[in-house]
Amino acid sequence: MHPDFKQWTTECLALTESFLEKRLPTSDCAPTRLHEAMRYAVLNGGKRIRPLLSFAAGELGDADKTRVVVVSAAVELIHAYSLVHDDLPCMDNDTLRRGKPTCHIQYDESTALLVGDSLQSLAFQLLAEPAVTDEPQAQLKMIQQLAVAAGSRGMAGGQAIDLDSVGKILSLPELESMHIHKTGALIRVAVILGASCSNKLTQDQFKQLDHFAKCIGLAFQVIDDILDAEASTAALGKTAGKDAENNKPTYVSILGVTQARELAHELRQKAEESLNQFGAKALRLQQITDFIVQRNF
């Protein structure tokens, strides 16, 4: 990772962490166990790709970072809630997340359920705050966009397709459609909302940006599948090899590792082409794209 990029990510993530730290209810505030568990689920590291994407997209229109941080936190709360619910026994039944026991293991199932529910509410609460933009009409649109991305035609819908696909043989387009919903929708909205914190982008630029986000969302998933097949549990901080064990269709199970790697690089190229028109302002988005494809955790 380039030292300058490293420093930029450190700064952005410090902003997001300190905002989340401040806005999550403290664990001495009733109901204390729920609030402690919410903080456990959110303030436990993770790659924070979505917040980084929001900040990087914000730079395209020189958005104020004190605005982008709210968006980045809202999107990360939706992501964190989805992980807590996905790990539940009735879903992926996973016990390890980011190197620590999953929320329902550390606490209990009912607490984990309420943690996810409450984190989703908190995301919309933050995104409706006056700090986000001077244009309340635009802000309402951003709330709608996050709600659609999170809901049954976005992330939650992708999760439903995923559950339904266990043990089935999917075609490549079917697998792609699942991921466009399951992880893609939230990655796209992280980019779009970050860019929406300024009002300098044209409709056409938003379209280009959305295409960029779609490509890196898929690339992210392809790499995830490769890592699940190849990396160790220790390196990932979550249980490796779960996909094969659960008989889940993945890019690796359909294409094999070599072709999956080729696909990731192709997606990276397409993503980078979509950034061309933004010139130097797209530097951070380019660097994140490289990171997504080259990461080993």
Binding-site ranges for its own copies (CB under 8 A): 25, 29-31, 33-35, 38, 81-82, 85, 88, 90-91, 108-111, 113-114, 116-118, 120-122, 124-125, 128-130, 136-137, 139-141, 143-144, 146-148, 150-154, 156-157, 159-161, 163-164
Our CB check for its own copies shows the closer of 165 and 253 to be 165
What's the closest the beta carbon of residue 262 comes to its own copies, in angstroms?
29
DSSP 8-class letter at 231: S
| Residue 158 contacts residue 185 (beta carbons within 8 Å) | yes
Compare residues 160 and 231 and give the one whose CB is closer to its own copies. Answer: 160
Comparing CB distances to its own copies, the nearer of 62 and 109 is: 109
- In the complex, what is the shortest distance from the CB of residue 259 to its own copies, in angstroms, rounded to a whole number? 27
| Beta carbons of 188 and 219 less than 8 angstroms apart | no
Output phi, psi for 202, to 5 deg.
-85, 165
CB of 282 to its own copies, least distance (A): 29
Q: Least distance from C-beta 165 to its own copies, angstroms? A: 10
For 209-238, b/e burial (b = at least 16 CB within 10 A) is bbebbbbbbbbbbbbbbbbbbeeeeeebbb
Between 102 and 286, CB nearer to its own copies: 102
- Beta pairing partners, 96: 101
Cβ proximity to its own copies, 163 vs 257, nearer residue: 163
For the bound state, the minimum distance from the C-beta of residue 88 to its own copies, rounded and expressed in Å, comes to 7
Q: Are 289 and 271 in contact (CB under 8 A)?
A: yes
The least distance separating its own copies from the CB of residue 245, rounded to whole angstroms, comes to 18
**Closest CB to its own copies among residues 45, 151:** 151
Report the residue number, 105 or 113, with the smaller CB distance to its own copies.
113
3-class DSSP state for residue 134? coil
Distance CA 71, CA 47 (A): 17
Burial of 261 (0-12, 13-18, 19+ CB in 10 A): middle
b/e sequence 99-109, b meaning 16+ C-beta within 10 Å: eeebbbbbbee
Q: How far is the CB of 208 from its own copies (least distance, A)?
A: 25
**H-helix segments, 43-154:** 49-58, 65-86, 103-106, 109-127, 136-150
